[in-house]
Amino acid sequence: MPLKKPHNGLQNGDGNHEKDSRHFGNGSQQQNMDLNDHEGEHNLPSVLEVNSDSPVVNGIGSSLANGSLNLHSTVKRKLDGEKDYVFDKRLRYSVRQNESNCRFRDIVVRKEDGFTHILLSSQTSDNNALTPEIMKEVRRALCNASADDSKLLLLSAVGSVFCSGLDYSYLIGRLSNDRRKESTRIAEAIRDFVKAFIQFKKPIVVAINGPALGLGASILPLCDIVWASEKAWFQTPYATIRLTPAGCSSYTFPQILGVALANEMLFCGRKLTAQEACSRGLVSQVFWPTTFSQEVMLRVKEMASCSAVVLEESKCLVRSFLKSGLEDVNEKECQMLKQLWSSSKGLDSLFSYLQDKIYEV
């Protein structure tokens, strides 16, 4: 990190910072907080329209934001087809040359001063649910952020839901098509997604604006600091929907919440409010929804003023004793899911449960 480059994220120029902060639902927008679609239509695209004709390239190698942004464009985004992006060391240089051209469909990546900001903003699933494709985008963004000059990563979400976990309609669709092949593919996508969090070396701050479900809640202990809005809540009803735990929650949840509460979450689908999650250690601190965005940004910027070496080495010390253990857990969990999905019995059980849910609705 030899020289400080001007950040090329959204805050550049033309007073878009004010609009930007509305993603967290602060200020005048509070009343829209749980109207996901509403926000999705009116606010999000107003700042996220990618103008692929004017990529911001600032020359010094690592412009990782997903292109420049046309603030006053129409609602629809031009979506680039998903590129076959290879994480091969030999290819890194050439890839880096083109990074400014990287587009993401279901996440937004913004390069800020000292940190990278990834926002879940799924266009291909509801409520920021995760599909293998979306998980791959997050992995790509994490990979980019690990190599750039940012000191830490901020992960948040657009809309009123943080992440609703695995996309079950996707899951059912694919598994009923080709059980054997798809169970492997999806389980491996989860494994690689979780692994990317375990292996990420810079501190990860997560800002939870709303509900975090399943895998969306499970990965939180793999992040380093978890700030939540009063509106957030947390649920991992794996057994209820006939699944075994994922995202290392079978290890991290008992570790953090105690075996009794962890199991109540994993087996009975116990829901934790933001305050409960905070008092039990899943969340670092809870903020008022109207000022959540500012509080998070203030703290992240202060953190980003720290020494990069100290941040990375501190994380290394905190995580070193867990890392190999977590990778094992991740492997085992995904192996278990694969077995479950590839067995007709496990699949039937899942299908009949989800079917019932659909009939209920």
Q: Select the span of 57-65, 138-146, 182-190, 258-266 touching a second copy (CB under 8 A).
A: 258-266
Question: Which of 223, 209, 216 minimizes the C-alpha distance to 274?
Answer: 209
194 binds a second copy (CB under 8 A): no
Query: Which one of 116, 128, 150, 250 is in contact with a second copy (CB under 8 A)?
Result: 250
Q: Does 298 bind a second copy (CB under 8 A)?
A: no
Q: Using the rule CB under 8 A, is 86 a contact of a second copy?
A: no
Please identify which residue in 48, 65, 213, 261 interacts with a second copy, judged by CB under 8 A. 261
Q: Does 272 bind a second copy (CB under 8 A)?
A: no
Residue 4 found at the interface with a second copy (CB under 8 A): no
Which contacts qualify for 95-98: CB closer than 8 Å, 24 or more apart?
A: 96/61, 96/62, 96/147
Of the candidate residues 97, 169, 176, 285, the single one contacting a second copy (CB under 8 A): 285
**Residues for the chain: how many in total?**
361
Q: Which helix (H) or strand (E) holds 128?
A: none
- Is 340 among the residues that bind a second copy (CB under 8 A)? yes
Rounded distance between C-alpha atoms, residue 342 and residue 180, angstroms: 5
Q: With contacts defined by CB under 8 A, name the span among 20-28, 98-106, 135-143, 328-336 that binds a second copy.
A: 328-336
Looking at the Cβ atoms of 98 and 343, the one nearer to a second copy is: 343
Q: Is 71 in the site for a second copy (CB under 8 A)?
A: no
Confirm or reject binding of residue 257 to a second copy (CB under 8 A).
yes
Q: Which of 39, 148, 295, 333 binds a second copy (CB under 8 A)?
A: 333
Residue 249 CB partners (closer than 8 Å, separation 6+):
217, 218, 221, 236, 238, 262, 266
